């Protein structure tokens, strides 16, 4: 079992910056499998979308809408993943949820979710 605790959401003006943190209750990336942590977001009336993710081998993936503005990183010593969000736009407003996909075997994985944190971009 893994618990994910998010922090850092809030209200920010357009063009501003915000950082999110997701702390896992245990190491995610020390496994021999390629595990993943990242962030999804969901705005009212819209489908959930992948924002950014980082794998055990540090491969990162970003949604086209956030490329060049958001940066995902990790601190393995703290079992924490960060999402730095710059040049925020009103359309970035959403509930951001951290997740961890952990492989138990080559074909079996489990996905864990944080509680979600609200990010509101508004003047």
Mean pLDDT of 92-119: 96
Whether the CB-CB separation of 77 and 32 falls below 8 Å is answered with: no
Q: What angle do CA 55, 60, 62 make, to 5 degrees?
A: 130
Sheet architecture: strand order including 4-7:
4-7, 18-24, 80-85, 70-75
The pLDDT tens digits for 31-53 are 888 899 999 999 999 999 999 99
pLDDT given for residue 92 in this prediction: 97
Mean pLDDT of 82-111: 96
Mean pLDDT of 101-105: 93
Whether the CB-CB separation of 71 and 81 falls below 8 Å is answered with: no
Q: How far is CA 35 from CA 16, 42, 43, 47, in A?
A: 31, 23, 26, 24
SS3 78: helix
Rounded Cα gap, residues 41 and 66, in angstroms: 12
According to DSSP, the β-strands at 117-121 and 10-12 are parallel
pLDDT given for residue 34 in this prediction: 87
- Share the mean pLDDT of the chain: 96
């Amino acid at each position: 079992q893994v618990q994910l605790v998010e922090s850092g959401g809030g209200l920010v003006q357009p063009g501003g910056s915000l950082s999110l943190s997701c702390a896992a209750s245990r190491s995610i990336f020390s496994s021999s499998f390629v595990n993943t942590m990242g962030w999804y977001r969901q705005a009212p009336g819209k489908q959930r979308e992948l924002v950014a993710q980082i794998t055990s081998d540090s491969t990162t993936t970003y949604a086209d809408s956030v490329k060049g503005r958001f940066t995902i990183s990790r601190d393995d010593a703290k079992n924490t993943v960060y999402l730095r969000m710059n040049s925020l736009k009103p359309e970035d407003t959403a509930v951001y949820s951290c997740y961890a996909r952990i492989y138990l075997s080559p074909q079996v994985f489990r996905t864990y979710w944080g509680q979600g944190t609200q990010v509101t971009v508004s003047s």
